[in-house]
Structure 1
Amino acid sequence: MRPSCSFRVFGLALALTPAAMAQTVAFTFDDGPKLEATPRLNPAQRNAALLAALKQHQVQATLFVTLGNGADRPEGLALARAWGEAGHLIGNHTVTHLDLDAAATTLASYEGEIQACDQVIRTLPGYRPWFRFTFLREGNTPEKRDGLRTFLQATGYRNAYVSLDTSDWRLDEAMRKQLARHPDADLAPFRTAYLAHLRQRSEAYRDLSRKLFGRDIPQVMLLHHNLINALFLGDALQQFKAMGWTFVSPETAFQDFIYTLTPQRPAPGQSLLLSAARSLGYRPEGWERLVDDGEADIQALVKQGVLPAAP
């Protein structure tokens, strides 16, 4: 059962008239480019692998730059520039990935990080005045939330919402820890878990969009500039093709009406669709899997004996 046929929660009436359309998805990558060392691939190799997979499948993506992860140094800035030169888009993800929901984070300090990041990335090809909230959290007080919205509007920045949130970072973290313990570890179970996780999240968020809006929306997916994507992004893109999904640019996806909404967020973080559901007091079936930060996937790997049980 879906919610009632029209909503005014966002100050707009949303008529839920089912519409048949092909499911589309836009790919975005946060926190890059990273210069940290990882097993198997060095920073330049990770960057090149991501770009190669996107090129092979003719996907235009967006890299949301966290300046302090590497783009504040010449070698890291070169990796970010490679995205723009390859035809991808560049957005803003602060300098240090601080948390606007943290009591110690002031509105002024957060705005300052956006401005500092902007000064660097606006020189890159593919730059867009798009901002992706760190942790997808928009502030722990109404003053922070409304103040940042005012700031973004005044500076011409778009809130680069996520509709299809994933916990790829959790699987990446677990995989890197496993490689630290066992450098020659077989990564096939992590590939399988990664692909299954993306499929589960994609199908769940597609179902949620249909329940909330009566149609498929162009999904904006959140992934990260990390090792697991460098290794298996090509497989993920092939999986989406096999599912019948087609790829669109983030610029095209953001033209959809739903990305103009500003739901009230009683819980921090998470996707635009979950925020909309929370604003409506609607709790979809399978909610727990969407908010568990990949815990179910990690526990499945523990049960398989791939990962050690937590002490």
Structure 2
Amino acid sequence: MLRYIWLTVALAWLASAASTAQEAASSVPDTERRIAITIDDAPLGPGAKGNWDRAGALIEGLNAAGVQAIFFVTTDGFEELEDGKARVERYADAGHLIANHTHSHPWLYQVEADDFLSDIDRAEAHLEGLENRRLRFRYPFLDQGRRDSDKRQSVWDGLDARGLGDGYVTVDTYDWHLDRQWRQAVAEDASVDEAALSDVYVAMIVEAAEHAASLAETWLDNQPVHTLLLHENDAAASFLPAAIKGLRGAGWTIVTPDEAYARPLPRPALTTGFTGMGRVAALAWERGARGEGTFDHWSASESGIEERLASEGAVTAVD
């Protein structure tokens, strides 16, 4: 009974926070550093920890931190994983938001616009009826068709016609690569220090957020409410609570996804092919930002993450 009462109170709190997001977005100074947690590719298959309750760990960690996340769902997992749909329903029932990330996760530049929109529609059909839905869409790989402006416009028109808002990213990380390195190490019976792995994960997220905030401060008119890109993997389920603590310790306020998107950043221009690092990077590029020193960061680099894992002793190959 106490567990039921606690969950009811938590869900009421999350609902109240979401309903007041527009007011909060308009009343907080643009200089305050705010960030929302967004999680892609749910539901994913087994990872480094094998057959465990990843959803339960994510829900417990987020609720303990008092954080509402938005899950951008790739619905082929409903067909391929026995617990795929049930897992996403658990996220929704726990008070987290659910949005569209296509059905099969295609690169837009590799498919026709009509086929891409059909894949979005297929996902919408799978998501119909789920609790806490948000009519919002995120591009797989953050790919908006590269330099094909006609294709980009066709997809924009299709999204607008469907009433699907833009689930853009401002803080990009290669958390998927850290998770992959962990999974590979386990498969190869390499040594894994999970405490060190957690430290690298936290540093990756906090430093990526700092990098995006610095880019926005230099190139944009205002500091936006940021959106952090993560994935529904074992790394997030294991280490996200520590990363949230790290962000707060670095002066970040964790806000709801609704607040983050209440005052949306504009779409990049049709002629901007530089979209794969997220919205702040794309807008900075349009304003003249150039060079590796401006954009590159180890948190969105496969080699950078591998070097950090090695230097911290998180993953050690077996001789």
> Shorter-chain TM-score category?
0.7 to 0.9
Which range moves more in the overlay, 226-235 or 240-249? 240-249
Contact kept, 8 Å, 2:298 with 2:304, in 1: the verdict is no
Residues 1:50 and 2:58 are matched in the alignment = yes
1:122 aligns to what? Answer: 128
Q: What is the Cα deviation at residue 71 of structure 1?
A: 6.0
Q: What is the Cα deviation at residue 228 of structure 1?
A: 0.5
The AA in structure 2 aligned to 1:114 is I
Give the SS at the match of 2:297.
helix
Which range moves more in the overlay, 76-85 or 249-258? 249-258
Residues 1:32 and 2:39 are matched in the alignment = no
Q: Deviations over 1:19-45 (max 9, x none)?
A: 6643111111000012x22232525x1
Residues 1:22 and 2:32 are matched in the alignment = yes
1:136 aligns to what? Answer: 142
Contact kept, 8 Å, 2:182 with 2:192, in 1: the verdict is no
1:75 aligns to what? Answer: 83
Contact kept, 8 Å, 1:84 with 1:124, in 2: the verdict is yes
Q: Distance in 2 between matches of 1:194 and 1:214?
A: 30
1:62 aligns to what? Answer: 70
Q: Distance in 2 between matches of 1:224 and 1:92?
A: 14
Contact kept, 8 Å, 2:48 with 2:186, in 1: the verdict is yes
Q: Distance in 2 between matches of 1:242 and 1:130?
A: 30
The AA in structure 2 aligned to 1:253 is A
Q: What is the Cα deviation at residue 203 of structure 1?
A: 0.5
Q: What is the Cα deviation at residue 288 of structure 1?
A: 2.0
> Kindly, what percent of the aligned residue pairs are identical?
27
Aligned with residue 188 of structure 2, among 181, 203, 206 = 181
Structure 2 unaligned segments of length 5 or more: list them. 1-28
Closer, same or farther in 2 for the Cα pair 1:100/1:272, shift >3 Å?
Answer: same
Closer, same or farther in 2 for the Cα pair 1:72/1:87, shift >3 Å?
Answer: farther
1:238 aligns to what? Answer: 245
The AA in structure 2 aligned to 1:98 is P
Q: Distance in 1 between matches of 2:212 and 2:191?
A: 35
Q: Distance in 1 between matches of 2:259 and 2:132?
A: 15
Residues 1:106 and 2:112 are matched in the alignment = yes
Contact kept, 8 Å, 2:103 with 2:122, in 1: the verdict is yes
Q: Distance in 2 between matches of 1:248 and 1:206?
A: 15
Residues 1:218 and 2:228 are matched in the alignment = no
Q: What is the Cα deviation at residue 215 of structure 1?
A: 3.5
Q: Deviations over 1:75-111 (max 9, x none)?
A: 2111101111111110001111111012xx1112111
Aligned with residue 156 of structure 1, among 135, 160, 163 = 163
1:302 aligns to what? Answer: 310
Q: Deviations over 1:165-185 (max 9, x none)?
A: 111111011111011112763
1:262 aligns to what? Answer: 268
Q: Deviations over 1:205-230 (max 9, x none)?
A: 01111112243321011100001111
Contact kept, 8 Å, 2:205 with 2:299, in 1: the verdict is no
TM-score by length of 2: 0.83
Give the SS at the match of 1:165.
coil
Which range moves more in the overlay, 19-28 or 48-57? 19-28
Q: Distance in 1 between matches of 2:117 and 2:65?
A: 36
Closer, same or farther in 2 for the Cα pair 1:295/1:217, shift >3 Å?
Answer: same
The AA in structure 2 aligned to 1:24 is R
Contact kept, 8 Å, 1:39 with 1:183, in 2: the verdict is no
1:5 aligns to what? Answer: none
Q: Distance in 2 between matches of 1:302 and 1:254?
A: 37
Give the SS at the match of 1:26.
strand
Q: Distance in 2 between matches of 1:144 and 1:202?
A: 31
1:271 aligns to what? Answer: 278
Give the SS at the match of 2:259.
helix
**Aligned residues, how many?**
286
Contact kept, 8 Å, 1:101 with 1:268, in 2: the verdict is no
Contact kept, 8 Å, 1:33 with 1:47, in 2: the verdict is no
Contact kept, 8 Å, 2:207 with 2:299, in 1: the verdict is no
Structure 1 unaligned segments of length 5 or more: list them. 1-18
Closer, same or farther in 2 for the Cα pair 1:39/1:213, shift >3 Å?
Answer: closer
Q: What is the Cα deviation at residue 127 of structure 1?
A: 0.8
2:15 aligns to what? Answer: none
Contact kept, 8 Å, 1:93 with 1:131, in 2: the verdict is yes
Which range moves more in the overlay, 76-85 or 286-295? 286-295
The AA in structure 1 aligned to 2:140 is T
Residues 1:171 and 2:178 are matched in the alignment = yes
1:16 aligns to what? Answer: none
Aligned with residue 280 of structure 1, among 287, 309, 316 = 287
The AA in structure 2 aligned to 1:83 is Y
